[in-house]
Amino acid sequence: MLGLGYFYGIDMTYIILVMPALIFAMYAQNKVNTTFNKYRTVNNRHGYTGAQIARKILDMNGLQNVIVEKVSGNLTDHYDPKANVVRLSDATYSSTSVAAIGVAAHEVGHAVQHAEGYAPIKVRNAIVPVVQIASYAAWPLAIFGILMSFSSLTNFGILLFGAVVLFQLITLPVEFNASNRAIRTLGNNAILDNEELAASKKVLSAAAMTYVASAAVAIANLLRLLSLAGRNNRD
């Protein structure tokens, strides 16, 4: 196990493992916000709205059965596979910005993934029920097991948190693929010109960084749990 512990009352596992990941996550979130805000004022030359582009790309892929709806909030865009709905936020739905076009095309990319049976998204969806439980129960179970020197409970908590890490890792190819589909579709069909496409790509790249950061935070916390459990066993 990792030989980390306390130094003058300071939990070094948190300082060395988790804090750098959290700083990276804050940077990534700030990056996506500033990049989106920068390009939300740059309109595409055709005057397409995010909703129009979502509908256009869905129809191009034979997904006339998928609905496009507006949802409140900022950057709350998502595809709901259960309802078969692409939901676009206030900042995307009616906007003609290149940022909104990129985000709309990205969310449609998820709808296409589902329609095609894209393997990583099928795996991610399969473990969602476990992850929903694990995200709440893993840490309390593991810490309680450590405090009570109940190794079986600790290991179970660590196993559950491993599912959270797996979910974050599987999310990476899912998100990268959706962005690649979006950029390819927008470019190949001349929906955006080269300059507009470059701007949309910057927005999606910044968004992708937030998923990398989430995975980094999850991995750091798993390593911290392993370190705490290992130190407790030695003690």
- The DSSP-derived string for 6-31 is EETTEEHHIIIIIHHHHHHHHHHHHH
DSSP 107: H
CB 49 within 8 A of CB 94: yes
Q: How many residues does the chain have?
A: 235
Q: Which residues contact 138 (CB under 8 A, 6 or more apart)?
A: 157, 158, 160, 161, 163, 164
Active-site residue among 69, 107, 175, 195?
Answer: 107
107 annotated active-site: yes
Active site residues: 107
